[in-house]
Each structure stands twice: as structure tokens, then as C-alpha cells.
Structure 1
Amino acid sequence: MLHSLDKIRPGVTMDEIVALRKANPGGGPHSVTGPIYVRGAAPGDVLEIRILKIDPKPDAFNFNLPGKEFPTIGVLAREFPEGFARFFRLDLEHRRAEFKPGIVLDLQPFPGIVAVGIDPNDPSPRKGGSGDPMAPVSTLRPWKNGSNLDVNELREGSTIFVPVFLDGGLVWVGDAHCRQGNGEVNLTALECAYRQIVLQLIVRKDMTLK
């Protein structure tokens, strides 16, 4: 799904995007899949997560929230006081997107979020740092369990190793991107959705990560 459970789609206004953002303070707009229970994974193990295949859907977007309301969000807040949104129709046959006439970007899809269940002794990833073990987990930042890494090298054929904190690992993945530089200057990439992402999850009891 696209951001905010598929609610940011072509035709959505900036006012609607702002309302979605304000409705989830301290959380994140990302659509994620999980948790996935990995048989045999236990605290202290390492999960080897291989990204085997990513199959994008054709719609994508990039936006900058209004700088007048979100002056600290991204480095372009002053450049876009009213905000800006751009929607794209991806050329999946040739794996590219036209940014503007004469500027074509090759698609390099990757999930911004790859994570496992959080350390139960560390409340930092929970919204507001709540000590309630049932409190929702924020997807805004990266943590030691992975989460919002936004590493554009996590494409097909890549592997990431993540420590396990809970029985079953509890893998979750999302924040689908189709292209991004080395970071999100305006806090969005070429945001998209996937028809499928295929992962191979391997329990490594011969490794430790701290």
C-alpha cells in the first residue's frame, strides 16, 4: 500500500495530506506488513534478511509538507511554505519514471523499513517513549531493531543482519520506495507500493550483534 494505508493517492490535496500527518503525532505515515513470526528465532540470535524480489505498483509520489506549519521537517521547508506534492505514473516495463521532460530516473526499488520486534527493555521506539508494552511502535526513526533505515542499497539481491529481541523475531517491512538518493532531503523519496516483496529469513545462531 501507499502511505497512510493507501490514502495518499493521485488527486489527494495537500490539506488532506497535512490532516493525515496531524492525525498520527509521534507515529509515522508508513504502511508496513508484519509482524512475521520466524520459527526458531530467539532473543540473542541474528536474523539474516535477504531481499530476493521487489515488484512495484505503477503509482508513486513525492511531497514536501507545508513549511509554514512544519518548519523543521526536511531542509526544504523554507522553499515550500505551502507544501508541494507530485504524483508519478511509473513505466514498469522499462523500470523508470519521468521526473520532468528530459529527466528520466531509473527505478531502484527498496523498502525504507526493515525491522524486527523491539527490545522489550527499551521503550524508545514506542510512541512518546511509552513504558506500556502494548503501546504502538513509531516508524519515524531507525532503532537497534532496524525500522526506518531509508538505506537505498537495500535493493533486490541485498542482505541485512538484525539482532533478535523477541521470540519469533517478529519481522516487519514497508515504506515502499522506488527511488531515493542518500537520504530524504524533503523527508519523502519516490514513495510507491509493491505488488510483492519476497524475503528470505534465515536464523543465525552462529552470530551475535550488539
Structure 2
Amino acid sequence: MPEVVFPLDSNKKFTDQQIVGHNRWHPDIPAQVRVKPGDVFRVDCREWFDGAIQNDDSAEDILHAPLLSVHTLSGPIAVEGAEPGDLLIVDIVDVGPIPQEDSGPLAGQGWGYTGIFAKANGGSFLTDQFPDAYKVIWDFRGQVATSRHVPGVSFTGIIHPGLMGTAPSAELLAKWNAREQALIDTDPDRVPPLALPPNPDSAILGSLSGAEFDRVAAEAARTAPPRENGGNQDIKNLSKGTRIFYPVFVDGAKLSVGDLHFSQGDGEITFCGAIEMGGFIDLHVDLIKGGMQTYGVSENAIFMPGNTEPQYSQWLAFSGTSVTLDGEQRYLDSHLSYQRACLHAINYLTKFGYTPEQGYMILGAAPIEGRLSGVVDIPNSCSTVYLPTAIFDFDVRPGPGGPHQIDPGQGVPKASF
């Protein structure tokens, strides 16, 4: 096993650990550990809500989830010799749930969860159709996930980090804050909000304290969206065997990682849409000096996906176009067309006995493929959702005998207001 450079004790809160990570982006958050180019090392990662979500049949914890405290990131990790303008090579050597802990109260100890956030608490991709809070618990057996809340489904997870990235420079951070505030100002009272501005409440900033903590907390960017440094990209294909090339904006690069997922469908459409868990990730790092200019990668990482994904060979695909549910035509709106494709898939699954919420959870957690299939034929963008048929315990394809009827069981727990 590689050296554990960022250890976490499952019996302690994130802020009580031997090394405290962070939940904001800022160039002045000190590096907690240092590694050298060529090193292979292990990083323990906490589930993104630090144990706030329970393995039970209630969704009240999703309804009241502490969004100001996310994400619980392990890092920053300084790479010796890294300078602005370099490319940081990060290889995912291995990744998985919490080792040697197959049961317990923390996600990653043999189980994980998927949630739909209430519209008032962040919402989801389909928040107008699913405005309430729901939760599904998934049990792990090896690399296979099943759920008491979604019967008749089992699938091999594509385990991956939802969030990994390098620290921004002061200039890049200022750019983020300015452009996101300008967006917020266009509709400051929108629910859910258009963006999340800096907020010192619940900020965790590694070893910073006192006046320096207060200054950084007031400036630091929230970790919710992906940005030029990588960040919360939620790309399910960043799995074992992946090589990623991150732009370096500060000395040491200051790499951070967290938000591990046991599985996820393309888009993480329920927002808390992957199977969230804590766990470990083994990384190898190296540098390409001056690589940002040499390869034209001045922003946003490029990557080579790993080759350990489950090999599904048969799919049932659903398409959608950029027309709203009430019939309004939109111009090449790929966001809308993907929503419509997802809604078509959910409606299809209800014909087999699933509730709409169960269908939505399947799309959020299972390794579905989402694709932009047509983006040039005015006025309609066309998006598609590919659902692997092998994840079901019955034949989900259309046939002359009609849909097989499943027992939906207890269904998906819903929070009460």
C-alpha cells in the first residue's frame, strides 16, 4: 500500500483530524502535505457532508443537509517544483470505499447514498418536476450496488472522485468572484440561486486561524461548481487508470481531492446524484514544465480515461429536443433537451412499476451515458440518455407482452416539510 499522506480517522469529525483539510478555494490556504514528482501516495477522503447523512429510511437529513460546509476536501497537497504555467500530471492508481470498514455509520463503510435536494435547498436538474427532498441508500458488495429503495436494479459502479483540482491564483479567484456575482445580480432573489458567492459561514481553511482566516474566508470561492482549475467536475470517467493534466496556477500546485462516488450517471442529475461515499484514492504525480503554453492548456484539465469501466453492450436510448413541457420552442437549448430525454426515460420506467422518484434515482446513480447528439439543426438541439439494460433484473426492452411489472417495495423516502 502506498504511504498515506493524508489520513482520516472514521471516528472523528473532519475538523478534528490530525491534518485538517478545507472546503473553499483560495491560493493562501497552506499546503498540508508535500510530495515529489514521481511519488505514489494514498489520500483518505471524507464523504462530502462529513457524516451528516444517515443509513436509514428518512430523507430529513437530505432536506436539512448543511450545504455551506461542503466539500470536505483532502489537501492542499504541494508538489515539489510545481510552478505557474506547468501542467500537473495526476494518475489515479486506485480508488475505493473506506478500506477494511465494511459496516458503520459513515457513507463509504459498505454503503452510500443518492439524494434529490429540495428546490429551496439547491434543487436538482429536474427541480421543477421533483421539488422535494428524497434519499436512496445503496449497499456495496464488491463493486456492485443494490438498494432496498429501488428494487430490481444492480450495477457495477465506476468509482471516481467527483472533485479534484489545483488552487487558483489570486487573479483567477478574483475573476471567479466577479463573474459569478455579476450573474447573481441579474436575479438576486432566484430560488435556487444562480451562483454561490463567498460565505465565511462554515468555512474550513486547513491550518489558518485568526485574522488571516477571516480574510481568506471572506474571499474564498465555494467548491460547488467546476471551474478552470478542475474542481467539482463530477466526471464519472475519472476512474482507476485515468491520467489527468491540471493547469498549475500557484507554486506547488496545491492539489486537493474529495467527493468520492461509488457510481454516477452522466450529469449527476439529482445534484446529490452520485452514490456518495468516503474512501481512499491512490495517486501518482509528475510535472510537465511549461506545459500550459506548450499544449495550449491554459484552463480546464484534459484527461485520458481509465480502462477499468464495466463493459455494458446493450442500451436503451431516449432522446429529447429543446421544447419545454408546455410546448414553447427554445433555440438549440442542450440543457433543456437533456432534461427532456431524462424525463422520457423516467416516464418509461414508471410503466414497469417504478415511481417517478425511483426512475430519477436510477438515472442519477447508475452508469448511464448522456450525449449531445445534435447541436446544429435549428431550432432543436437533440440530447440522448443511454440506459444499460443489463442493470435490471428483468427485460426492460419494449416487447409484444407489455412491460414487466415490478413490486416497487417501500419506495424512495421523502422528507416532510
Give the TM-score category using the shorter length. Answer: 0.7 to 0.9
Name whichever structure is richer in strand by fraction: 1
**Bigger radius of gyration:** 2
Equivalent of 1:158, from 242, 247, 272? 242
What is aligned with 2:132? 82
CA distance in 1, matches of 2:176, 2:58: 30
What is aligned with 1:118? 168
Distance change in 2, residues 1:125/1:80 (3 Å): same
Runs of 4+ in 1 over 6 A off after TM superposition: none
CA contact (8 A) 1:113 1:174 kept: yes
Equivalent of 1:60, from 106, 112, 122? 112
Higher relative contact order (CA 8 A, sep 6+): 1
Tell me if 1:199 matches 2:283.
yes
Q: How does 1:34-183 map to 2 (within 5 A)?
A: 34-56=75-97, 57=108, 58-67=110-119, 69-70=120-121, 73-92=123-142, 95-99=143-147, 100-122=150-172, 123-125=174-176, 128=197, 133=216, 135-183=219-267
Instruction: Note the alpha carbon deviations across 1:26-74, whole angstroms, 9 max, x for none.
Output: xx6322211001111011111011100012132200010123x24x722
Counterpart of 2:291 in 1: which secondary structure?
coil
Shift of 1:136: 3.2
Counterpart of 1:121 in 2: which secondary structure?
helix
**What RMSD, in angstroms, separates the aligned Cα atoms of the two structures?**
2.2
Shift of 1:21: 3.4
CA distance in 1, matches of 2:288, 2:123: 38
Number of aligned pairs? 200
Unaligned runs of 5+ in 2: 1-45, 98-107, 178-195, 200-214, 299-417
Q: TM-score, normalised by structure 2?
A: 0.45
Aligned residues: percent identity? 25
CA distance in 2, matches of 1:17, 1:152: 22
Q: TM-score, normalised by structure 1?
A: 0.85
Unaligned runs of 5+ in 1: none
CA distance in 2, matches of 1:125, 1:133: 15
